[in-house]
Amino acid sequence: MQKAFRSARSAPSFRAWQPYLDAALGFRNHWYPAFFGAELAEGECRGQQLLGEPILFKRAGGSVYALPDRCAHRGTPFSVRPECYTRNTITCWYHGFTYDVRDGRLVAVVTDPESALIGKLSLKSYPVQEQKGIVFVFVGDIEPPPLIEDVQPGFLDEALAVLPVGDADVVKSNWRLAAENGVDAAHIYIHRNSELVEATGMTLPLGILPGSREGMVSAAPGGPKGIVKGGKEIPIWDADIETARVSARNRPGMGKNRVNPDVSLWLPCGLKVDPSPGASEIPGMIHFEWYVPVDEHSHRYLVTWGKHVGSQQEAETFYGDVETKWRSIIRRFNDDDIAAREAMERFYAEEDGWHRERLFRPDVVITEWRKLASKHNRGIQRAVAE
Amino acid sequence: MQKAFRSARSAPSFRAWQPYLDAALGFRNHWYPAFFGAELAEGECRGQQLLGEPILFKRAGGSVYALPDRCAHRGTPFSVRPECYTRNTITCWYHGFTYDVRDGRLVAVVTDPESALIGKLSLKSYPVQEQKGIVFVFVGDIEPPPLIEDVQPGFLDEALAVLPVGDADVVKSNWRLAAENGVDAAHIYIHRNSELVEATGMTLPLGILPGSREGMVSAAPGGPKGIVKGGKEIPIWDADIETARVSARNRPGMGKNRVNPDVSLWLPCGLKVDPSPGASEIPGMIHFEWYVPVDEHSHRYLVTWGKHVGSQQEAETFYGDVETKWRSIIRRFNDDDIAAREAMERFYAEEDGWHRERLFRPDVVITEWRKLASKHNRGIQRAVAE
Amino acid sequence: MQKAFRSARSAPSFRAWQPYLDAALGFRNHWYPAFFGAELAEGECRGQQLLGEPILFKRAGGSVYALPDRCAHRGTPFSVRPECYTRNTITCWYHGFTYDVRDGRLVAVVTDPESALIGKLSLKSYPVQEQKGIVFVFVGDIEPPPLIEDVQPGFLDEALAVLPVGDADVVKSNWRLAAENGVDAAHIYIHRNSELVEATGMTLPLGILPGSREGMVSAAPGGPKGIVKGGKEIPIWDADIETARVSARNRPGMGKNRVNPDVSLWLPCGLKVDPSPGASEIPGMIHFEWYVPVDEHSHRYLVTWGKHVGSQQEAETFYGDVETKWRSIIRRFNDDDIAAREAMERFYAEEDGWHRERLFRPDVVITEWRKLASKHNRGIQRAVAE
- What is the model's pLDDT at position A7? 42
Cβ contact C73–B351 (<8 Å):
no
Cβ contact C122–B7 (<8 Å):
yes
**Does the pLDDT value for residue B2 go beyond 50?**
no
- What is the model's pLDDT at position B5? 43
Per residue in B120-161, pLDDT tens? 999 999 999 999 999 999 999 999 999 999 999 999 999 999
Task: State chain C's mean pLDDT as an integer.
Answer: 93
Per residue in A246-292, pLDDT tens? 999 988 887 777 778 899 999 999 999 999 988 988 999 999 999 99
Tell me the mean pLDDT in the region C316-345.
Answer: 91
Phi/psi at A332 (5° precision): -105, 15
- What is the model's pLDDT at position C349? 97
Per residue in B336-371, pLDDT tens? 999 999 999 999 999 999 999 999 999 999 999 999
Nearest Cα residue to A303 out of A342, A340, A277: A277
Among B183, B184, B204, B241, the residue to mutate for chain C (most C Cβ within 10 A): B241
Tell me the mean pLDDT in the region C251-273.
Answer: 88
Whether the CB-CB separation of A110 and C239 falls below 8 Å is answered with yes
- What is the model's pLDDT at position A302? 96
Q: Are strands B207-209 and C45-50 parallel, antiparallel or unpaired?
A: unpaired
Tell me the mean pLDDT in the region B186-203.
Answer: 89
- The distance in angstroms from the start CA to the end CA of chain A is 30
Cα distance between residue A319 and residue A321, in whole Å: 5
- ipTM of this complex: 0.94
CA distance B84 to chain C (A): 46
- What is the model's pLDDT at position A11? 52
Percent of chain B with pLDDT over 70: 96
Cβ contact C116–B240 (<8 Å):
no
How does residue C260 score in pLDDT terms, banded at 50, 70 and 90? confident
**Does the pLDDT value for residue C3 go beyond 70?**
no
Structure-model confidence comparison of residues B249 and B333, the more confident one = B249
CA distance A183 to chain B (A): 13
Neighbouring C-beta atoms of residue B118, cutoff 10 Å: 17
**Does the pLDDT value for residue C232 go beyond 50?**
yes
Concatenated DSSP letters of A308-358: E-SSHHHHHHHHHHIIIIIHHHHTTHHHHHHHHHHHHHHHHHHS-HHHH--
Judged by phi (left if over 0) then psi (alpha if -120 to 50, else beta), residue C107 lies in: alpha
CA distance C28 to chain B (A): 10
Tell me the mean pLDDT in the region C38-61.
Answer: 98
Q: Quick one: closest CA in A to C4, which residue?
A: A124
Cβ contact C112–B352 (<8 Å):
no
- What is the model's pLDDT at position A259? 72
Per residue in B29-67, pLDDT tens? 999 999 999 999 999 999 999 999 999 999 999 999 999
Per residue in C269-283, pLDDT tens? 999 999 998 898 899
DSSP state at residue C177: H
DSSP state at residue A306: E
Q: Which of A40-54, A56-70, B196-210, C151-165 has the lowest mean pLDDT?
A: B196-210
- What is the model's pLDDT at position A210? 86
How many residues can be counted in chain B?
A: 386
Cα-only R_g, chain C? 23
How does residue C331 score in pLDDT terms, banded at 50, 70 and 90? confident
Whether the CB-CB separation of A305 and A163 falls below 8 Å is answered with yes
Give whole-number Cα distances, A337 to A188, B294, C76, in Å: 9, 29, 47
**Does the pLDDT value for residue C284 go beyond 60?**
yes
| C109 contact residues in B (CB cutoff 8 A) | 239, 360
- What is the model's pLDDT at position C235? 92
Average pLDDT along chain A, 386 residues, taken 10 residues at a time: 43 82 98 97 98 98 98 98 97 98 98 96 98 98 97 97 91 98 94 87 90 87 91 88 93 77 96 92 95 98 96 96 88 88 98 96 95 98 81
How does residue C12 score in pLDDT terms, banded at 50, 70 and 90? low
Per residue in A174-191, pLDDT tens? 999 999 999 998 999 999
Cβ contact B113–A209 (<8 Å):
no
Whether the CB-CB separation of C56 and C47 falls below 8 Å is answered with yes
Q: How many CB contacts within 8 angstroms connect chain B with chain C?
A: 138
Neighbouring C-beta atoms of residue B87, cutoff 10 Å: 16
Cα distance between residue C378 and residue A335, in whole Å: 58
Nearest Cα residue to A344 out of B97, B73, C188, B4: B73
Cβ contact B70–A351 (<8 Å):
yes
* Residue C268 preceded by cis peptide, ω within 30: yes
| B91 contact residues in A (CB cutoff 8 A) | 241
Tell me the mean pLDDT in the region B189-206.
Answer: 89
Per residue in B234-253, pLDDT tens? 999 999 998 899 999 988 88
| B343 contact residues in C (CB cutoff 8 A) | 76-77, 80, 94
Whether the CB-CB separation of C108 and B239 falls below 8 Å is answered with yes
Phi/psi at A14 (5° precision): -65, -15
Cα distance between residue A149 and residue A223, in whole Å: 5
| B56 contact residues in A (CB cutoff 8 A) | none
Tell me the mean pLDDT in the region C284-296.
Answer: 97
> Which uninterrupted H or E stretch holds A68?
strand A63-68
How does residue B231 score in pLDDT terms, banded at 50, 70 and 90? low
Cα distance between residue A152 and residue A306, in whole Å: 12
How does residue C198 score in pLDDT terms, banded at 50, 70 and 90? confident
Cβ contact A242–B89 (<8 Å):
yes
- What is the model's pLDDT at position C6? 39
**Does the pLDDT value for residue C5 go beyond 50?**
no
| B244 contact residues in C (CB cutoff 8 A) | 85-86
- What is the model's pLDDT at position A231? 66
Per residue in C57-83, pLDDT tens? 999 999 999 999 999 999 999 999 999
Cβ contact B360–C95 (<8 Å):
yes
**Does the pLDDT value for residue C10 go beyond 70?**
no
Q: Quick one: closest CA in A to C338, which residue?
A: A94
Domains and CATH numbers, chain B: 32-139 (2.102.10.10), 147-376 (3.90.380.10)
How does residue C231 score in pLDDT terms, banded at 50, 70 and 90? low
Cβ contact C339–A95 (<8 Å):
no
Among A48, A112, A115, A386, the residue to mutate for chain C (most C Cβ within 10 A): A112
